[in-house]
């Protein structure tokens, strides 16, 4: 194993400290607890253009909802959130798609998609604001750029883990373990940390827009009641609802302090 590890490190020019260094270079928290301020991190021009192109492609392939009440409700909430978020370079655009899955998404540049299925779970404007503000917080925190950087480390992280584990089990088993380990360490799409950060920042945005941030807790309680997922939290790209609710309850006083 030592010879294999030495050969890999020599060929790749890396050290065993790399995974620690990679995990240690995360951006500072978007929310400053001392000042109550939210850091805004604009995306690169390239990333914004890619987000706009992806959104245009999605709109060309996914039916847009013709439900006037659903669209009016989504735009009403979006138009209250938009003024409280100052993101340089963003051209916010909101669209409602005819899709029964409970979901919303946001892309770099401020492109936000809302599925009609979400409107059935987020039954109040405040609950819908919680979902949209969360997605908008991913954009203001530039989590997409961080995700790209982390995903670029999957291959290298997997190879390194494989070298460390080499010789203990069969080669095929090691490759599988290393690949999974690399994905956990470097590649989860919107990590649990990012998701919880978007929850916190999102409650601040919705509070500044005049909504009660406690509605975010209600939303996730309703989400949890609908969820049938059995994926262990450690391997999930999103925290389970119980974790989100606990963290949101803890953060509620800070969010309410910014309510307008």
Active site members: 135
- Number of residues assigned to the chain: 260
Q: Which two tokens stand for residue 245?
A: 């609710």
Q: Which two tokens stand for residue 102?
A: 């409970």
CA-based angle 30:73:129, to the nearest 5? 20
Which three-class secondary structure string do you get for 181-248?
HHHHHHHCCCCHHHHHHHHHHHHHHHHHCCCCCHHHHHHHHHHHHHCCCCCCHHHCCCCCHHHHHHHH
Phi, psi of 161 (to 5 degrees): -65, -40
Rounded Cα distance, 195 and 182, in Å: 20
């Amino acid at each position: 194993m030592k010879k294999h590890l030495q050969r890999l490190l020599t060929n790749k020019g890396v050290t065993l400290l790399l995974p620690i260094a990679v995990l240690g270079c995360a951006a500072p928290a978007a929310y400053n607890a001392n000042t109550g301020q939210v850091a805004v991190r604009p995306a690169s021009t390239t990333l914004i253009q890619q987000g706009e192109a992806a959104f245009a492609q999605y709109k060309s392939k996914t039916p847009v909802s013709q439900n006037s009440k659903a669209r009016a409700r989504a735009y009403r909430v979006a138009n209250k959130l938009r003024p409280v978020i100052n993101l340089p370079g963003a051209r916010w655009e909101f669209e409602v798609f005819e899709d029964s899955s409970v979901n919303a998404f946001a892309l770099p540049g401020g492109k936000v998609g809302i599925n009609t299925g979400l409107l059935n779970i987020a039954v109040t404007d405040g609950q819908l604001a919680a979902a949209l503000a969360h997605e908008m917080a991913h954009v203001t925190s530039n989590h997409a750029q961080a995700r790209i950087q982390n995903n670029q480390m999957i291959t290298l992280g997997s190879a390194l883990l494989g070298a460390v584990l080499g010789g203990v089990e069969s080669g095929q088993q090691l490759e599988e373990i290393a690949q999974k380990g690399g994905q956990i360490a470097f590649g989860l799409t919107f990590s649990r940390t990012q998701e919880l950060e978007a929850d916190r920042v999102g409650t601040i945005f919705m509070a500044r827009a005049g909504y009660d941030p406690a509605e975010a807790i209600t939303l996730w309680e309703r989400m949890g009641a609908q969820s049938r997922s059995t994926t262990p939290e450690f391997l999930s790209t999103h925290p389970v609802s119980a974790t989100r609710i606990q963290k949101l309850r803890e953060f509620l006083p800070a969010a309410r302090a910014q309510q307008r």
